Structure 1
Amino acid sequence: MPAFLPDLSVILTFALAALVLAVTPGPDMALFISRTMNWGRVHGFATVLGALTGIAIHTSLVAFGISVLIVTAPAAFWVLKIVGALYLVWLAIGAIRSGGGLLVSRAAGKQPSFAQSYMTGLGINLTNPKIALFFVTFLPQFVSAADPAAAGKLLFLGAEFVLVSLPVVIAIVLFAEWLTTTLRERPWVSKLLNWSFAAVFMAFAATILLAEGRK
């Protein structure tokens, strides 16, 4: 068995944990839905690809020990969380302003490029404390620090997380596309969804900022 391959029990346990995180509502899930409803499945999948790239980056940081700096330097992690909260506020504003790019109606604003949708997905996961905390604090629990193959196993688990998440995010994008087709002719529903997305992003931003304020 290759040295980078964890035990089967570890693989199965981690798969369950990854599935729970994947189906937990969060700003990334709201973003996948809003992008798809606005610009179609191509941009929904572009956003997903960006988010999964963010996961790959988090995994690499953990595997090669760079994320230890965040854990040992609380100020650095605090900055990450504040940046994440501000990014969510920016997305919330974009959801309700004219031509903000998150509106359900395609005619509301200029269509973003594939690269822009990708970078939006990348940004929301790189600044998402839920993802950062999962990989910095939880992922290392599945390997031993004394294991010479620890880095390889961490990378394997990161790839496993992506594979487990894929069916979930693909289903989310396809559902959002179906929902758009069903509701596009009802303007009041579109407006309600825009404000709902804004509320989701603002709620997560407030949670982050208030949690920091209590410390």
Structure 2
Amino acid sequence: MSIAFLVTALVVVLTPGTGVVYTISTALAAGRRAGLLAALGCTVSLLPHLAAAVTGLAAVLRAGTPAFRVVTWLGVAYLLWMAWSALRDRGALRVDDGHPAPAAGRVIRDGLLMNLLNPKVTVFFVAFLPQFVPPDAPAAAARMLLHGTVFVLLTLVVFAGYAALAGALRRRVLARPRLTTLLRHGFAGSFLALGLGLALTAR
């Protein structure tokens, strides 16, 4: 496994996306533990995508099949619902000490669904892994699985770091209602932009 792969994977994982936004917003809303659960849910959701990429299912999905479009639009709908929830200050995105923390199962479920309903993640694995493991290389499937597993573990570590940092800053955020409102609107805008971006792949 090359240094180039590890560096590239780290850059990709650090880049803000659906999982990062959800992890940070959950940690700010409900604390470090909830943020870590969100990171876990987002990370575990990568496993089916990785399996699809290794087995070649991603190529079938990406070939303009109805299944790809259906899953894509479900993902769009879910991201838009998350944006609406953030704007309405409901659910896991409520930054308010006066309300109980969301259930662990709910936090993990939302993290799972957001990435499971995003076929672009599977397509990403197909585009990313062959850059470091050519399909015609010896034991290519096993090597792609190894590289993909390292990517998943790296995702968990980085997302957990985001959760820990956001959880540590939570009290300062709660002490500034105006900042809380700006963050909530920022998260809503992020989910909206991610949903619209995903919608473009279904056209």
Identity %, equivalent residues: 33
Q: Determine whether 1:44 maps to 2:22.
A: no
* Residues 1:120 and 2:120 are matched in the alignment: no
Match of 1:88 among 66, 74, 79: 79
TM-score w.r.t. length of structure 1 = 0.84
Q: State the match for 2:146 in structure 1.
A: 156
Unaligned runs of 5+ in 1: 1-7
Contact 1:85/1:206 (8 A) holds in 2: yes
Using the alignment, how far apart are the partners of 1:168 and 1:145 within structure 2? 28
Runs of at least 5 residues in structure 2 that lack an aligned partner in the other structure:
none
1:80 Cα deviation from its structure 2 partner: 2.6
SS in structure 2 opposite 1:208? helix
Q: Which of the residues 158, 168, 179 maps onto 1:189?
A: 179
Query: Aligned partners of 1:14, 1:127: CA distance in 2, in Å?
Result: 26
TM-score normalised to the size of structure 2? Answer: 0.89
**Equivalent runs, 1:53-202 vs 2, <5 Å:** 53-108=44-99, 111-147=101-137, 149-202=139-192
What per-residue deviation string (whole Å, max 9, x for no partner) do you get for residues 41-83 of structure 1? 1111111111111112211111222223213344332323222
Aligned-partner residue type, residue 80 of structure 2: V
Instruction: Report the counterpart of residue 22 of structure 1 in structure 2.
Output: 13
User: Alpha carbons of 1:62 and 1:207: their partners in 2 closer, same or farther (altered >3 Å)?
Assistant: closer
Instruction: Give 1:156 shift.
Output: 0.4
> Is the 1:30–1:197 Cα contact (8 Å) retained in structure 2?
yes
Cα 1:85–1:12, aligned 2, differ >3 Å: closer, same or farther? same
CA contact (8 A) 1:71 1:77 kept: yes
Structure whose CA Rg is larger: 1
Q: Segments of 4+ in structure 1 off by > 4 A?
A: 210-213
Moved more, 23-32 or 180-189: 180-189
Structure 2 CA distance for partners of 1:24 and 1:87, relative to 1, 3 Å: same
Q: CA RMSD in A?
A: 2.1
Q: How far did 1:210 drift?
A: 4.2
Deviation at 1:158, TM superposition (A): 1.2
- Contact 2:75–2:118 (Cα < 8 Å) also in 1: yes
Counterpart Cα distance in 2 of 1:54 and 1:211 = 20
Q: Which amino acid aligns with 2:49?
A: H
Matched AA of 1:121: G
Tell me which amino acid in the other structure corresponds to 2:110: T
